[in-house]
Structure 1
Amino acid sequence: MTFTSVDHPDGSVEFRVTVQPRASRSEIAGIRDDTLLVRVAAPPIDGEANAALLRTLANALDIPIRRIVIVAGEHQRRKRLRITGFTSAELLARLAQFRMQRA
C-alpha cells in the first residue's frame, strides 16, 4: 500500500497517522498500512503525545502548528489529521525529504 491523502475544496489536506508514543526520539518514521508513522518521545498522558505529534509534524513540514488539527482519533494511536493551506502534492513533496520506507 501507499500513503493516501485527500484534498478538500477549502484548501486543506487530510491524512491518517499512526502515533507511537514513548519512543526514544520524536521523528517521522515511514509508512505503515497506508498511514504516516510518527514516533514521539512523549507518553500518552494528558494529551502530551498529541502535542508532541503536532510539534513534530509542524517542524518536519516547516509550517505553523496552528495549521494542523486532529480530526479523529484524539485518544487513539491511529488518527486523522487535517492541515489547512496545504495540498496532497505539497504534503508528499515535503515528506519526500525523509526516508519514506515501509515501517
Structure 2
Amino acid sequence: MLISVRVIPRSRKNSVEWDGEGEGGRLKVRLTAPPVDGAANEALVVLLAERLGVPKRQVVIVRGATSRLKVVEVAGLNPGDLRLRLA
C-alpha cells in the first residue's frame, strides 16, 4: 500500500496524524530527528513500522527521500488496516 506523508522534522515529539479528510488525505508525521544525513528518513521508517505493527523492512520510502512530501510503501497492509492501526 502506498501512503502520502508530510514530514515535519525537528519537532518536540514524534507523532502521526491524518492531514485532510477521506481518501485524499495524507499522514502528517512529526519527527524529533533533524533532516541531516538521512536521520529523519530512518526515524520515519522506524516510527511508521512501530505504529503500524509491521517490521521495518516492510516500510520503504519510494519517493521524496530529500523532500518533506514523501510516498511510503507499506507491504502487507490495506487501507482499512491503516486507519485502524493509527486510530
TM-score, normalised relative to structure 2: 0.89
1:92, distance to aligned residue in structure 2 (A): 1.4
Alignment partners' CA distance in 2, 1:80 and 1:29: 15
Alignment partner, residue 8 of structure 2? 20
- Structure 2 gaps, min length 5: none
Deviations 1:39-91 (A, max 9, x none): 00000000000001111111111111110010100100000011111111111
Structure 1 residue ranges (4+ consecutive) displaced by more than 6 angstroms after TM superposition:
none
Higher helix share: 2
Looking at structure 2, the residues matched to 87 and 30 of structure 1 have their Cα atoms a distance apart, in angstroms, of: 16
CA contact (8 A) 2:31 2:44 kept: yes
Identity of aligned residues (%): 38
Structure 1 counterpart of 2:61, from 60, 70, 80: 70
Q: CA deviation at 1:29?
A: 3.4
* Secondary structure at the counterpart of residue 51 of structure 2: helix
Amino acid at match of 1:27: S
Could you tell me which runs of 5 or more consecutive residues in structure 1 were left unpaired when the two chains were aligned: 1-12, 97-103
Partner AA of 2:15 in structure 1: E
The one-character-per-residue Cα deviations of 1:13-53 (angstroms, maximum 9, x if unpaired) are: 11100000000111113314721000000000000000011
- Of the three residues 60, 82, 86, the one matched with 1:91 is 82
Number of residue pairs the alignment of both structures matches: 84
Letter in 1 for 2:81: E
The higher radius of gyration belongs to 1
